Structures are given as C-alpha cells and as structure tokens.
Amino acid sequence: MTIAELRSLFERAARALMPTADTTPQSPLGQLGAVLAALVAGAHHRLDILRRDSVPSTATYQGALVWAQALNVEPAGPTVARGKAALQVQGTPFTAIASGLKLVAETNQVNLVIDGTYQVGANGMVVCDVRTIDRGTIANLPVDTVCRFVSTPPSLQETAKIIAPLSGGLDTEPQGSFQARVAQFFSNPPQGGSTADYARWISEALPDRLIVGYPLPRRAGKGSVDLVGLAMAERSLRLLSAADQEAIAAYVADKKPATDVTRTVTAEPVSVDIELAVTPVSAPQYQSDFDDAGGLTVQSWQPDTRHLQFTGPLPADMQPNHRLSLAVTVGESTGREQRIAARISADTIELVNDPNNPVPTGLAAGDRAYAGGPLVEPARQAILNGYSLASDHGTVAIPGVNQLGPANPGTRYGSWLDRIEPSRLAAAARAQPGVDDATVVAPSATILPTDPAATGTLPPDETETTQVLLAGQVIVRYA
C-alpha cells in the first residue's frame, strides 16, 4: 500500500473509534496518522528488500554485492577497447603490417596495438582492427584520434587515425551482468566439470574482456564439450579472434576433467536487418520530430557537402536539429538517427557532421529516410541490448539481440536464446515509455541460426563452426 492509502486507512480507523474526533491533516490525529503511515510504508519497503535479497536471483545490486562477497565472486574489469576496421594507416603500397604493432594516442596516451596482419593497398592506405593495451573507459577512443607508432616501421607514416570509434572499455562489469553471474554461481556452484563450470571457464579465459561462455556438451560425441565464447559487445565486436580461441582452449584444458574432450568452435556471424514501426501515445513529448508522411525517398547524397536530396519537397515542419533515420539497401548501417544541420533548398538538407555517428556507407538514390523522435533510440536500445520488466519476484532481464547465443536447436545445449523472433522485437519496443504499439516490418518470420552438428550426419571435423545471429541495420520509425 502507498503512504496515502495507509494514511486514509488510519483516518477511517480513527473515525470509527472516535466519530467526533478531528482527523484533518493539520490535526494531531491527522499528523499521527501521517507518521504511522510513513513508518509502516518504510517497514514494508525494507521487508520487501530483505525478501528480494534473500536469494541472489532476485537481489538488489547491494544485496548481490553481499552475496558476491560470501561466494567469493568479484566483478570483472577493467577491460580493453576494440575497434573493427577502426585504424587508417598510410604508407608505401604493398608494405606488410605485422600484428601487434604498438601505437599511442596523442590525446590521452592510451596504448593500443594492431590486431591482425595487413598489407598497405595500392592507394597507399589500409584499414586495420585494433585493440587497446590500457583498460577502462579511457580506452574508448573517438573518431579522428591521431595515434603515433611507438617504433615506426619502414615505409609507413608515423601517425595513423582512428576512423571508427573504439568501444568495450569498461572500468568495471555492468551491474546486470555481475548480478547474473552471482545468481548463476549460487544456483550452480563449482563441480569440477559441469556445464556451468565450462561456461565460467570460458568467460574467465580472457581477463581483459567480458566474455560469455557457451559450452556445447556432447556436440562432437559422448564425452565431448565444444566451446564457444562471445564478447559482451555489439555486432561484429562480439566475435572472438583465433588468438582468443586459442587462449580459451589453453585455459579450459588446465581446468577440465582429463576424460573430457574439448575444442573451440568458431561462431560464424549471420547479420539480420530489423525494422519496426512504432505508434506513440497521444502525449506531445513522444511525437516524431516532423511529419514524414510515411517516409522520404533519397534522390542523391553528396558526402563532401553532406547534402541529402530527396525526390520530393521537404516536409514543411522539418527543421534543423531534427532527427531522421536512414535505411540503406546496400552498404553498412547501424540505423542510428542522424541530425539535420540545415535546410538547403526545397528538397535538400544538410546533415550534421558527427564523426562518431557516420552516415551509412552506400547511401544512394532509392534509399529511404524516416522522421526520428524520442521513441526511436530507446526502442533501438531495448531491441539491441535488452530491457527490464518488473514482476512480483523482482526485476526480470529480457535479453536483446546483442545477448543472443550461438545456435541452440531445441535448447539441446542450454537455456540461452539463439533466435530473432518478431514478437520479441515488438515486445521490446512496446515496453518503452510512450510507445502505444509496435509493428515489425522485418524480419517477417523467426530467424534461426544453423548448427551443422544438429543433423548428426557430419563428421566432427566438419562441425567446427556454428552460427550466431548479429544485428544488422536496426531501423525504428514512426508508423
């Protein structure tokens, strides 16, 4: 009961016992009722917390910390940052670039290394994957950061530039992830070789990153355990390198029972584009920035001037600083909203230059643009990273696309979710404040990853890969 309800209850009780008594809020009895109501409400709140904290699965974060101390579970972190195709290096054409070359960011002295081997292209440039040596949020280097080689190799320029933001650098493990690990440890304590043990061993193998472990028991036969690890990250940054897999294999080999046969399995990505149309409630703060009349069609895009021309006239209410989403048919796009810098002509706008939110590659004639607004990014984040639902037993975490595990047909390997279902996408959007309804445009049906071992007809050496679904272009637009 709320304080107001308790206060009303005390007032009715006082009138029943003393019909002529003054129980108005300013009277002594009224003030006493207010104090008693607050005390009872506070006691109920404290008892509710104690009830939730009695087990880790429903505990508050503070309660989880107490359980973690008792179970000897520590928050992970800090972690390194990584970037896919994030560093532009220039040099003499066809110069080889070795993995592990060290650089230092000029702005904050963060140390980083090139991740993988590369060769400078005929145009004198090459784009490389990178990871930082330093850990924490400071390692999340933004676009246009200039980095200098510690020891410049011959035929390469002394500096290189970050062209895609680095991410994944955390000072400590997120609360939700930490609470889930504590609850898992409590429910499945170490047993020296259980499925839960293998999941923990995989996640512990790379201490500079947050990894989720997915053991696949008996996938290659009786007594076998295949090992899949995925990083807590977005899109392709979830995938592990060959070196990461070797580290997992070596770490697990030191922990596992001698009779178990283990191997690491590569997660092959399957990118899935997602599009939803949301209907807002009537409150004005949830409406779209402008009326797009169902969407605009792109006529041309000029990257040098950042001018975006449409096939028809601009909406009359479209203004600078309004948001819009760009849906491309070819190229690379996250679906994040862009900002309008200015109206250039009757059919052309200029987009804001945000290095950390580049315009989709491949933007061309025929692509679509939709009005943005306050519902778009919350719904996108719920679809990608999950959301929480309150229940009588505490808060329930609903996973997003970035938390999907590898192919798990019929939940034969574990309880994790591996598929993208339209109904779940719509539910994620509807759970956000201000959303009255949501319709999934794509995908039109459930998307399932494939496990080559599921048929049981392939020899073990042909099942060293399995699929995992990754978010492609995620467009949330107004209906």
* pLDDT at res. 131: 96
What is the value of pTM for the model shown?
Answer: 0.82
Q: Are residues 139 and 86 in the same domain?
A: yes
Q: Are residues 385 and 467 in the same domain?
A: yes
Judge whether 102 lies within some domain.
Answer: yes
CB distance 138 to 79 below 8 Å: no
Interval 97-120 mean pLDDT: 96
Give the domain CATH number at 239. 3.30.300
* pLDDT at res. 175: 80
* Mean pLDDT, rounded, of the chain: 91
Edge-to-edge strands of the sheet including 435-442? 435-442, 266-280, 465-478
The tokens for 358 are 């580049």
The tokens for 170 are 């955390």
The amino acid at residue 250 is: A
Residue 355 has pLDDT above 90, yes or no: no
Q: Which of 425, 426, 424, 420 is nearest to 407 (CA)?
A: 420
Judge whether 68 lies within some domain.
Answer: no
Q: Are residues 215 and 158 in the same domain?
A: no
Domain closes at, from 222, 248, 264 = 264
- Enumerate the H helices of 54-161 as residue ranges: 61-71
The whole-angstrom separation of Cα 208 and Cα 188 is 24
Domain ranges, residue 138: 82-162
The whole-angstrom separation of Cα 406 and Cα 260 is 21
The whole-angstrom separation of Cα 428 and Cα 417 is 15
Banded model confidence at residue 23, pLDDT cuts 50, 70, 90: confident
* Residue matched to tokens 């896919």: 84
Q: Are residues 390 and 473 in the same domain?
A: yes
Domains of the chain: total? 5
Q: What is the pLDDT of residues 301-336, one digit of tens each?
A: 999 999 999 999 999 999 999 999 999 999 888 999
Q: Are residues 158 and 228 in the same domain?
A: no
Percentages of the chain per state (helix, strand, coil), in multiples of 5: 30, 30, 45
Q: Are residues 99 and 128 in the same domain?
A: yes
Q: Dihedral of CA 309/312/313/314: which sign?
A: negative
Q: Are residues 390 and 367 in the same domain?
A: no
* Centroid of chain to Cα 132: 20
The whole-angstrom separation of Cα 179 and Cα 68 is 9
- 460 upstream amide cis, omega within 30 of 0: no
* pLDDT at res. 47: 56
* Residue matched to tokens 């532009």: 88
Give the domain CATH number at 334. 2.40.10
Judge whether 71 lies within some domain.
Answer: no
Q: Are residues 386 and 357 in the same domain?
A: no
Interval 430-457 mean pLDDT: 93
The whole-angstrom separation of Cα 213 and Cα 220 is 18
Q: Are residues 157 and 204 in the same domain?
A: no
Banded model confidence at residue 393, pLDDT cuts 50, 70, 90: low
For the chain, the maximum distance between any two Cα atoms, rounded to a whole number of angstroms, is 97
Q: What is the pLDDT of residues 247-284, one digit of tens each?
A: 999 999 999 999 999 999 999 999 999 999 999 999 99
Q: How many CB atoms lie within 10 A of CB 178?
A: 21
The tokens for 134 are 């330093």
Q: Are residues 109 and 157 in the same domain?
A: yes
Residue 141 has pLDDT above 60, yes or no: yes
Judge whether 398 lies within some domain.
Answer: yes
Judge whether 66 lies within some domain.
Answer: no
Give the domain CATH number at 89. 2.40.30
Judge whether 462 lies within some domain.
Answer: yes
Q: Are residues 388 and 363 in the same domain?
A: no
Domain closes at, from 230, 264, 298 = 264
Q: Are residues 391 and 427 in the same domain?
A: yes
The whole-angstrom separation of Cα 274 and Cα 79 is 30
Domain closes at, from 213, 229, 264 = 264
